[in-house]
Structure 1
Amino acid sequence: MRKGTLLGAGLAIALFFSPLHQAFASESAGARRQVDTVAHRGASGYAPENTIAAFDKAVEMKADYIEIDVQRSKDGELVIIHDTTVDRTTDGTGYVKDLTFEQIRSLDAGSWMGERFKGEKIPTFDEILDRYHGKIGILVELKAPELYPGIEETVAQKLKERHLEKPQNEKIIIQSFNFDSMKKINGLLPKVPVGVLTSSKEHTTEQALKDFSAYAEYVNPHYSIVTEDFVQQVHAYDMKIQSWTVRKPEEAEFLLKMKVDGIITDYPDYVDPRK
């Protein structure tokens, strides 16, 4: 759905998600299946984060989405890595923005998690789109876009080249902690759902949600600030909520009880044992 839904419709949704209605809601396995499982940096509890091994594992585990972190090399290649430096997850050192793609590609991004992952490389955005679109949804996080002027335009162009600027069933979502970046993405890709990331209670107020609803379809908070009331408020503004990062079964169970729309997790099987 697009932004700017009338408040009346929002109030109707709030009533739908009221405690009275929820008292009669099904707690069956069928209800559980309505929650999207988002494999955080791939199935990163089982394979090195943001590598083909982790993304393939997520597909194998039948997750609904993979979550990827997009940054840009010194010479303009969009690459998939979480930290703004390569130090933690590779055998190299330095800031992503200061390394050429050739330098980044030469790094081992898997050995830190075990010998069987030796030789895993940092993938490109192009590779991820070409390998996984149509197999699994892709939640694209623009990581520190303020370090990469124009990255929004480049991401938009990559999607348009593949005719993905009008994704079906929200199978492409773009999110960031940088709200200005997401406003820009909304202008460039008005048909692609936008998500705002936050871990701050300041962004759980009615005014904050009203502001987000002008350009975003998702509010994606850290699980520590999720409450039943907050989930209802997000839904009242005709937005969805995907929460992060689940690394324990009890965290998944909590979010399921809160009736979030998606759970971002290193362990897809914590959300749905069938995975």
Structure 2
Amino acid sequence: MSKNLLIGTGMALSLLLSPFSQAFAEEPTTGERKQVENVAHRGATAYAPENTIAAFDLAVEMKADYIEIDVQRSKDGKLVLIHDTTVDRTTDGTGKVGDLTFEQLRSLDAGSWKGEQFAGESIPTFEEILDRYQGKIGIFIEMKSPELYPGIEEEVAEALKERNLDKPQNEKILVQSFNFESMKKMDELLPKVPIGVITSNPADATLESLQEISTYADWFNPHYGMVTEELLSQVHSMGMKMGSWTVRSQETADFLFEMGVDAIISDYPDYVDPRN
């Protein structure tokens, strides 16, 4: 059963029995619209190179609630942040992330492709990001292609435990992946940390699939093209939350606001939070 399901069921029953239940049934106010979690996808990537300090610092400046990061591993065992399994698109190098040493990865320019002002931005380490942003902003940690890196789940879990980020009373942390088996393992390693599954596959949104996912996951995070009121209702009924991705237009952000998702994962934090 989902770690949130029993709590959610209890809250639902209390609201049904409460004289204030009608207040909760009213239409959302303009103020409530801002309560959705604003997750900066790989940082504020519309404006700065993804998965770099520049993008993450900008996300903090733009008052995002979370940054979303992609974790992989170098040839010599260092946990690093990069989205693609190769360095070709976002650096001036070539090759697979797992075939390059940390020294080789660190020497690459991960910023110039986005603009000359970002020249010299480097690939950060997972530990650097935890240390720099712990207490400043929440972190959605995506395990990127963990099947390529045996044992990476234990390494990520250990880094979080060393910083006391494996307990819910600490800073906002969530671990997620497209690899559901990896997330089952993370739930065992970090039983108090919220776990999420990411998908663009409608087969994962069937009632049977959702029930199975809810046994280890706290978040079901689909592509926005999958989001419907019915799906969101089913996800919530199983004690899970929903974060949807990837928002690159105000129209998409507005759609997800209207649907009532719990988090919007966007390259543009300003599309989610009107304060920016």
Shift of 1:54: 0.1
Give the distance between the partners of 2:184 and 2:208, measured in 1 at CA: 17
| Contact 2:135–2:171 under 8 Å retained in 1 | no
Shift of 1:273: 1.4
Alignment partner, residue 3 of structure 1: 3
| Contact 1:63–1:268 under 8 Å retained in 2 | yes
Alignment partner, residue 196 of structure 2: 195
Identity fraction in percent:
68
Q: Over residues 180-233 of structure 1, what are the superposed CA-to-partner deviations in whole Å (9 max), with x where a residue is unaligned?
A: 000000000000000000001111111111111100000000000000111111
Classify the secondary structure of the residue corresponding to 1:68. Answer: strand
Alignment partner, residue 242 of structure 1: 243
Shift of 1:272: 1.4
| Contact 2:67–2:139 under 8 Å retained in 1 | yes
Shift of 1:12: 4.6
Give the distance between the partners of 1:177 and 1:213, measured in 2 at CA: 15
Classify the secondary structure of the residue corresponding to 1:240. Answer: coil
The yes-or-no answer on 1:24 pairing with 2:16 is: no
Give the distance between the partners of 1:78 and 1:226, measured in 2 at CA: 32
| Contact 2:108–2:122 under 8 Å retained in 1 | yes
Alignment partner, residue 55 of structure 1: 56
The aligned amino acid for 2:263 is G
Alignment partner, residue 257 of structure 1: 258
Alignment partner, residue 145 of structure 1: 146
Q: Over residues 124-165 of structure 1, what are the superposed CA-to-partner deviations in whole Å (9 max), with x where a residue is unaligned?
A: 001000000100000000000000000000000001111111
The yes-or-no answer on 1:77 pairing with 2:86 is: no
The aligned amino acid for 1:186 is D
Shift of 1:23: 7.5
| Contact 1:12–1:236 under 8 Å retained in 2 | no
Alignment partner, residue 114 of structure 2: 113
Give the distance between the partners of 2:80 and 2:52, measured in 1 at CA: 11
Residues 8 and 266 of structure 1: CA distance in aligned 2, closer, same or farther (over 3 Å): closer
Alignment partner, residue 101 of structure 2: 100
164-173 vs 74-83, which deviates more?
164-173
Structure 2: which 5+ runs fail to align?
17-21
The aligned amino acid for 2:181 is D
Q: Aligned pair count?
A: 270
Give the distance between the partners of 1:249 and 1:149, measured in 2 at CA: 39
| Contact 1:58–1:66 under 8 Å retained in 2 | yes
Residues 170 and 130 of structure 1: CA distance in aligned 2, closer, same or farther (over 3 Å): closer
Residues 219 and 21 of structure 1: CA distance in aligned 2, closer, same or farther (over 3 Å): farther
Classify the secondary structure of the residue corresponding to 2:175. Answer: strand
Alignment partner, residue 214 of structure 1: 215
Q: Over aligned residue pairs, what C-alpha RMSD do you find?
A: 2.2
Alignment partner, residue 161 of structure 2: 160
Alignment partner, residue 19 of structure 2: none
Give the distance between the partners of 1:7 and 1:135, measured in 2 at CA: 27
Shift of 1:170: 6.7
TM-score by length of 1: 0.93
The aligned amino acid for 1:183 is K
| Contact 2:223–2:245 under 8 Å retained in 1 | yes
Residues 129 and 6 of structure 1: CA distance in aligned 2, closer, same or farther (over 3 Å): closer
Q: Give the 4+ runs in structure 1 shifted more than 2 A.
A: 1-13, 20-24, 167-170
